[in-house]
Amino acid sequence: MTPTQPWPVDARHAHLMTGVSLLAAIGTLLIWFTDRQQGLTTAWDQWTIPMLSALYFGISVLHVIKPRCMPWALPPTLIATSVYLLVALHLAMVGQSLPKLYAATSLTQLIPVFYVIAFVSWPRGGAGISGLTYAGLLAQYLFSLHAPMPAGGWSDVHQLTQKTLLASVVIHPACILALSFITHLRGQLSTSQQEAFKGKERFLAMLSHEIRTPLQAMLGSIDLLALKLHGSTETRALDRLRNSATQLDTHLRDITEFTRLEDPALRIQADTFDLTQLLQDLRDDWIERAQSKGLTLSIDIAPDEQTSLQTVTADATRVRQIVSNLISNALKYTMVGGVTVHASLSRQQRGRAMTIVVEDSGIGIAAHHLAAIFQPYVRLEDARALRVDGSGLGLAVVQRLVDRLGGRLHVDSHPDRGSRFTVELPMADNG
Ligand code: ADP
């Protein structure tokens, strides 16, 4: 069984953010606990730090169970953190004691970490919230300049706190500027990447159209000619011509499709559709092909799954494309027996998911080839030896589509015994 390809960027980003929120929750609680034991917490810290820690923990859980809520949950969390930091800093400034100096020093150290998290987790609002936090810091510094020097022995502490603030006031703009620059570069990179994809896509679409249109005309003429020709030599020549034209058409379609899937801006739709009907339609599309090879093609759905599979939510066109490619391969690489498509629903960590299995009794794949077959343009020797047509893009397209839908793809296969491709797709209504 092969694992899926690396997780898509969005999923990796979500995992990173889950980890960051969890570490922030544990970190703040640990600091609060140790500071409390040493009497370094203020009345303000007493409740706000555990509340913030609970908030961070909530965010990490939300990232896992409802990632779509993050755009609403993150801004209030960042604003709450900023307010906490500024109020805590203000309280540290007005008090004159060593614990307060410790509080001011540690808070000014924490603020740059806050800027980084704000920029990474909220690219649109990171600069705004960081700028406002910095403005608050600057105001505290100006306030400290006018605050009266305390009587007694605390003037050193007062000066040290002021110096700590001054260092932060001077250094933090560089930090915010650098983060703004990185975010800007990231945005530019994704825009130019998208433009490059669009250019490539336009070129391929044009190329594909220019070649496929005459190709379709050729196929039409071949069919017409076939009606007129009766000699076996001529018919064989015409069949070869038809096969070659069809192959060319399929290759062009695969290449265009594969390129389109490289586009990070490709939109995935969420439709509610009947999966049993979709599988039945696919069977109707492929049954003739199966029968022409003497193979069976059946859909296997447990009776108690029938009703729930009639309303699933996902991108129906993409699901159809995935299953169609897998059935096409199963029929291509099976000589005796048949192909069965199983479908079921499961409950996963993130909610409901549909599982579709395409199983065949074909030539199978050796274990050491299992990882390679998902690479673009890879065709195995066995497939070539069978003289079966293919571009080596079918499974690469399936892998990309499954990744785009946030799912997983596994394959179990044994030479001469057959293959079993399993696709797990989360329901689009989970998020
Ligand atoms: P192709 O156009 O060659 O079918 P794919 O990307 O769909 O390209 O598949 C890559 C290779 O994986 C195929 O050339 C074949 O060797 C192998 N393969 C794919 N599906 C099956 C299957 N169901 N049974 C056996 N081999 C398979």
DSSP state of 73: H
- The whole-number pLDDT of residue 139 equals 94
Which one-letter amino acid corresponds to residue 47? W
Q: Is the pLDDT of residue 431 over 60?
A: no
Question: Looking at residues 138-153, what average pLDDT do you find?
Answer: 77
Q: Is the pLDDT of residue 347 over 90?
A: no
Q: Is 330 in the pocket of ligand 1 (CB under 6 A)?
A: yes
Ligand 1 mean position, distance from CA 382 (Å) = 9
Q: Is 358 in the pocket of ligand 1 (CB under 6 A)?
A: no
CA distance 81 to 272: 40
Provide the percentage of residues in the chain whose pLDDT is more than 70: 93
Question: Looking at residues 254-267, what average pLDDT do you find?
Answer: 78
299 versus 216: which is more confidently predicted?
Answer: 299
What are 255's two structure tokens?
């290449």
Which one-letter amino acid corresponds to residue 188? Q
What are 143's two structure tokens?
């306030």
Question: Looking at residues 129-140, what average pLDDT do you find?
Answer: 95
Q: Is 238 helix (H, G, I), strand (E, B) or coil?
A: helix
Q: Is 393 in the pocket of ligand 1 (CB under 6 A)?
A: yes
What pLDDT digit, counting tens, does each position of 213-224 carry? 888 888 889 888
**Most confident segment among 178-187, 346-355, 375-384:** 178-187
Pairing mode, if any, of strands 338-348 and 296-300?
Answer: parallel
pTM flag (> 0.75): no
161 versus 54: which is more confidently predicted?
Answer: 54
Cβ distance 290 to 334 under 8 Å? no
| Mean of pLDDT over the chain | 86
Mutate which of 286, 379, 388 for ligand 1 pocket (most atoms within 8 A of beta carbon) = 379
Distant-in-sequence, close-in-space partners of 370: CB < 8 Å, separation ≥ 6: 1, 2, 411, 413
Q: Is the pLDDT of residue 67 over 80?
A: no
Model confidence at 96, pLDDT cuts 50, 70, 90, reads low
Q: Is 419 in the pocket of ligand 1 (CB under 6 A)?
A: yes
Cβ distance 285 to 323 under 8 Å? no
What are 276's two structure tokens?
């049993």
Which one-letter amino acid corresponds to residue 279? L
Please name the residue whose Cα sits nearest to atom 8 of ligand 1. Answer: 392
Q: Is 390 in the pocket of ligand 1 (CB under 6 A)?
A: yes
CA distance 109 to 168: 8
Q: Is 84 exposed, middle or buried (0-12, 13-18, 19+ CB in 10 A)?
A: buried
Q: At what angle do helices 98-121 and 70-94 cross, to 10 degrees?
A: 160
Q: Is 374 helix (H, G, I), strand (E, B) or coil?
A: helix
Ligand 1 mean position, distance from CA 370 (Å) = 10
Q: How far is CA 348 from each of CA 123, 297, 352, 398, rounded to the nearest angstrom?
A: 30, 29, 6, 22
163 versus 383: which is more confidently predicted?
Answer: 163
Which one-letter amino acid corresponds to residue 327? I
Distant-in-sequence, close-in-space partners of 389: CB < 8 Å, separation ≥ 6: 243, 247, 250, 332
- The whole-number pLDDT of residue 365 equals 94
- The whole-number pLDDT of residue 263 equals 73
- The whole-number pLDDT of residue 214 equals 87
Question: Looking at residues 110-138, what average pLDDT do you find?
Answer: 93
Nearest atom in ligand 1 to 363's CA = 25
Q: At what angle do helices 155-228 and 232-262 cross, to 10 degrees?
A: 170
Spell out the domains of the chain, with CATH numbers in brackets.
Answer: 2-193 (no CATH), 271-430 (3.30.565.10)
Q: Is 411 in the pocket of ligand 1 (CB under 6 A)?
A: no
Nearest atom in ligand 1 to 376's CA = 6
- The whole-number pLDDT of residue 153 equals 55
Phi-psi region of 198 (alpha: psi -120 to 50; beta: other; left: phi over 0): alpha
Q: Is the pLDDT of residue 337 over 80?
A: yes
- The whole-number pLDDT of residue 327 equals 97
Pairing mode, if any, of strands 418-426 and 351-360?
Answer: antiparallel
Pairing mode, if any, of strands 418-426 and 408-414?
Answer: antiparallel
Q: Is 407 in the pocket of ligand 1 (CB under 6 A)?
A: no
Provide the percentage of residues in the chain whose pLDDT is more than 90: 46
Q: Is 363 in the pocket of ligand 1 (CB under 6 A)?
A: yes
Mutate which of 395, 398, 402 for ligand 1 pocket (most atoms within 8 A of beta carbon) = 395
Nearest atom in ligand 1 to 325's CA = 7
CA distance 229 to 242: 14
What pLDDT digit, counting tens, does each position of 186-231 carry? 889 888 887 887 787 788 777 777 888 888 888 889 888 888 877 7
Ligand 1 mean position, distance from CA 409 (Å) = 14
Ligand 1 mean position, distance from CA 319 (Å) = 19
Ligand 1 mean position, distance from CA 258 (Å) = 16
Question: Looking at residues 142-167, what average pLDDT do you find?
Answer: 77
What pLDDT digit, counting tens, does each position of 238-250 carry? 888 888 888 888 8
- The whole-number pLDDT of residue 430 equals 46
- The whole-number pLDDT of residue 350 equals 60
Q: Is 245 in the pocket of ligand 1 (CB under 6 A)?
A: no
371 versus 5: which is more confidently predicted?
Answer: 371
Residue with tokens 């936090």: 133
Count of other CB atoms within 10 angstroms of residue 54: 13
